Copies of this chain bind each other. A is one copy, B any other.
Amino acid sequence: MRAEILCVGSELLLGQIIDTNAPYIAGQLARAGVDLHRKQTAGDNLDRIADCIRGGLDRAEVVVITGGLGPTTDDLTREAIAVALGVELEYREELAEGLRAFFSKRNFKLGDSTLRQAYLPAGTTSIPNPVGTAPGVRYEKDGKFIFAIPGVPREMKAMLDGTIIPALLENMEGEPQIIVSRVLRAFGIGESALADPIEDILTTATNPTVAPLIFGNTEVHLRLTAKVKTEEEAKVLLDEMEARIRARKGVGEYLFGRDEETLPSVTLRALRGVGQTLAVAESVTGGVLSYFITEVPGSSEVYLGGVTAYHPDLKRQLLGVPAELIAEHSVVSAEVAAAMAEGVRRITGADFGLATTGEAGPTSATGKPVGTVFLALAHAEGTIALQKDGWGDRDSIRRRSALNAVDLLRRHLAAE
């Protein structure tokens, strides 16, 4: 069963609103095993809406429409369905009754325009709206369906989950299929470097399918999507595929987590696992590293805190970095990163000290190129310091460097 979504509303086309309805509907359709082929957005224009509906009915079995069911004259979805089906609008006394009851219960004045909502295209039925006034529209003939519901998210959800999804499940041939996804999250590797070793899987695997996706400028995700009868069956298929991917050379070490897990959350979990604590000393990241760490609920169990030594003097005053070391190597150096990590470990008593120093731009204070970054990890057995440059704009360099620092600790804990 194939579906299309049509979102109606000029405000969606003007870029003034981010459409969160369509992703919700898409997710619910996917879970129900309905194949979503296309999503369209049309402004408040009768011919264009009707054209989108006709096109949708040609290409798919189901067209789900949101928006354009309100009481004003720019709410045109009812008319457009009528035009697309080649029928007239009909007045439905029972809908008018419902509207009158809704308004009188709330002591609202029923405007004339509200009664526009009592009209439906001939041959269609209404979809009850349990949380608002506008009734939806339902059409069903020869295995083709149109469902129109309001764009107000609360009403949309109630009517989608209450009427549309059950109606579709009822009309599905054979045993219903569900779609279950799992995301494997990779850090520190580019999309093609991750895709190349699993190219055969990406091109041939069908259940689950595997698709790579750049995420938020710093991660690459592999999305595994299984089409199955039960959640248990999905788990078996997804576990198998995940193991197959992880076994590939040059892949597993980058896959730090799944679904909602973040690089900081898995790293803090590992730290908790060995019962050790962490403190940070930041320069180039200016607080981002501490922010990312404390985003994780419960981080206070293993994270003591840190120092943002943004001005060079604070590196001396607060972290005890020797002035001669700064003079000899500059603040942007592996030596200073190491001294910062050791310094914050010493003054806080943490088991691990993690440090960042570098140039985030837009201009360079030390003469080293923007993007130059040094990281260090100090622990009981010694200190690791390395150059790990960032790229992109100021924000990218800072975020990437903070995550690189966390990844340095993650890899250290994994190797232990």
Contacts and interface: CB of A to CB of B under 8 A. Distances in A.
A192 B71 contact: yes
Interface bracket on A: 35 or more
A17 to B, nearest CB: 7
B300 A392 contact: no
A38 B42 contact: yes
A11 B223 contact: yes
B23 A38 contact: no
B297 A286 contact: no
B202 A154 contact: no
A222 to B, nearest CB: 11
Copies in the complex: 2
A269 interface: no
B211 A113 contact: no
Nearest to A213: B11
Nearest to A40: B40
Contacts of A14: 26-27, 30, 36, 179, 181, 225
A195 B72 contact: yes
Interface in A290-345: 290-295, 297, 299-300, 303-311, 313-314, 317-318
Contact of A73 (B20, B154, B202, B314): B202
Given A191-B72, A290-B308, A152 B40 contact: no
Contacts of A152: 214, 217
B290 A300 contact: no
Contact of A15 (B17, B26, B199, B318): B26
B73 A203 contact: yes
A44 B11 contact: no
Interface string A13-37: 1111111101111111110000011
Interface string A156-200: 000000000000000000000001010000000011110110010
A46 to B, nearest CB: 13
A20 B23 contact: no
Interface of A: 7, 10-20, 22-30, 36-45, 48, 52, 55, 70-74, 106, 108-114, 131, 152, 154, 179, 181, 190-193, 195-196, 199, 202-203, 211-214, 217, 223, 225, 280, 282, 286-295, 297, 299-300, 303-311, 313-314, 317-318, 347-349, 361-363, 365, 391-396, 398
- Those 4 A-B pairs whose CB atoms lie nearest each other, nearest first: A287-B290, A286-B294, A15-B26, A15-B27
